[in-house]
Amino acid sequence: MEGISLFNRGEYFEAHEALEDAWREETNKVRELYRGVLQVAVVYLHITRGNYYGAVKVYERSKKWLKDWPDVCRGIKVGKLRLDAEKVISEIRRLGAERIGHFDRSLLRPVQMDESGGKRTYICDRCGHEMYETNCKVTCPNCGNRFDCSDLNVYLD
């Protein structure tokens, strides 16, 4: 995803724009994951521009878009992103508005992707067979039971 690549290069404004496009184009609930990542990009942008109050305000807003996602969804290590953003904002609050210029930008960590390709196994609650996750879609090859981490609901075929 282009937005993640831009984010990871420290191009936070451009990342925000690209992720906003992805958010607008997506019709499923996973769009809110994109919204959460783009909000963190805006937090980091405010920090690089020395805008303490903007960073704190947008961080508080970003938490609601990221809080309900599993630690890994659509290959994005969401749990790690939440933790990284929390560490960043803790340091910003410690420094305060008058010392934001002293912020160590090496704390602005990239969005990490799941190296395993997002594949984990689950046990089907309907038939007891192993289920497989691919790109946030979890499916039982035996009975077709499936769910999607973007809405965390179980769908029965």
**Cβ neighbours for 5, distance < 8 A, ≥ 6 positions apart:** none
Contact 148, 136 (CB under 8 A): yes
- For residue 113, the tally of other CB atoms under 10 A from its CB is 17
Domain positions in the chain are 2-107, 121-155
CATH number of 2-107: 1.10.3450.10
For 121, list phi and psi in degrees, rounded to 5.
-115, 150
User: What does the pLDDT look like over 73-121, one tens digit per residue?
Assistant: 878 899 999 999 999 999 999 999 999 999 999 999 999 988 665 455 5
The model's pTM is 0.75
